[in-house]
Amino acid sequence: MSETALIERIAARGDGVTGDGRHVAGGVPGDQIAADGTLIPGPNRAEPPCRHFGKCGGCELQHVAEPALADFVRDRVVGALAGQEVPVGEVLPALLSPPQSRRRAALTALRTGKQVAIGFNAAQSNQIVDMRQCPLLLPELFALIAPLRDLLTTIAQQKRPVKVKLQMLDQGVEVTLEGVKAEGLDAAMALQDFAGTHKLARFAIDQGHGLETLWQPEPPTVCFGEVTVEVPAFSFLQPTTAGQAALVDAVAKAIGDAGAVADLFAGVGTFALSLQKGRKVYAAEGARDAIAALKASANRVGALVATEHRDLFRRPLIPAELNRFGAVILDPPRAGAEEQVAQLAASDTPVIAYVSCNPASFARDAKLLVGGGYTLDWVQPVGQFRWSTHVELAGRFSK
């Protein structure tokens, strides 16, 4: 072994990796490993901003300085494509969401005696790290942690986990609690008082019999472009507004001035409604409540958006359908869209804008598209889950 070994990159799970392939927990590019295993800090280290770092599983990379963090996000995409031997015209510099910008979070709470712990799970564990600080969440979300801890002392069952879902909407914060027991007048009044005191946009609980909305002064909404959508409870939204803007901008750049566009896995309309102006859009989504919300909003503003409730895994669009469009937007779940991609690869669709939250499944699908005659022109990496190994991206394919 040489006197020192240089850490050259960060692996997919957050370990530092030396040139000879050794993985070093907590290593950062530029660090050196001495012959006795001691880590010698390099220029790319940062002071973690959170007291829970190292224990909480919400962040793995707070010790990495901003330039190296951006390089990691970009390198995840480069590495995934290289692993599938997919050629790419350009991988752009990564765009990172800033601290305190996460607008949605799913936490866990546990009551033990008179104490309630609430937060993310510890790394690779079911243990809850009781959140007393969080540089990830929007301040409006974090401000509810202590009040929720107090509330759950009355409605959380002993030693039974409660799912706590928080999301920022136009009217304020939406709170969903799953696995609570709110029986009796005192509990009902406590819930109403909590919602009113904190001016929630919506408050819903699930006591084991389905979700029940307790508080909703007006229909909760979110805006995409110029269109306001009334969203179902804890609808999927991009985790940060900065990340959403980066992905919408990348998709807009990819599809250009295409007059007819298909948005597949459209959700509540992040892309279909943001980009509908001046074009016709077909939007397909397997979640019934999401596509219903998209349809209602498009109809209200007179947008040329045709919607279909369709399971794209079991019934993907076939080439004869895809060939009607000048561009296709694809935003599948983490597992990717192998069934739909196989149909796209056989189509003559000129442009595909593929949005992904998993570089590995994106690279697998990209290989199918390239095999079908497409060229991967460019990829835009996006780091919405700041200080995490979770990476998102948007890429443009052309034929």
359-371 and 66-83 helices, crossing angle to 10°: 40
**∠ CA 387-333-57 to the nearest 5 degrees?**
30
CB atoms within 10 A of CB 191: 20
- CA max distance for the chain: 71
Paired tokens of 307: 């919607």
Cα–Cα distances in Å, from 261 out to 47, 238, 268, 332, 357? 46, 21, 16, 16, 21
**Cβ(305)–Cβ(294) under 8 Å?**
yes
The Cα 212–Cα 215 span in angstroms is 9
The Cα 306–Cα 81 span in angstroms is 34
Q: Annotated catalytic, 357?
A: yes
Nearest to 39 by CA among 48, 52, 49, 30: 30
**Cβ(7)–Cβ(30) under 8 Å?**
yes
**Cβ(158)–Cβ(114) under 8 Å?**
no
**Cβ(202)–Cβ(212) under 8 Å?**
no
Paired tokens of 257: 């001035």
Pairing relationship of beta strands 202-206 and 172-178 according to DSSP bridges: parallel
Nearest to 380 by CA among 398, 359, 351, 350: 359
Q: Which of 50, 56, 134, 357 is flagged as catalytic?
A: 357
Mind telling me the catalytic residues?
357
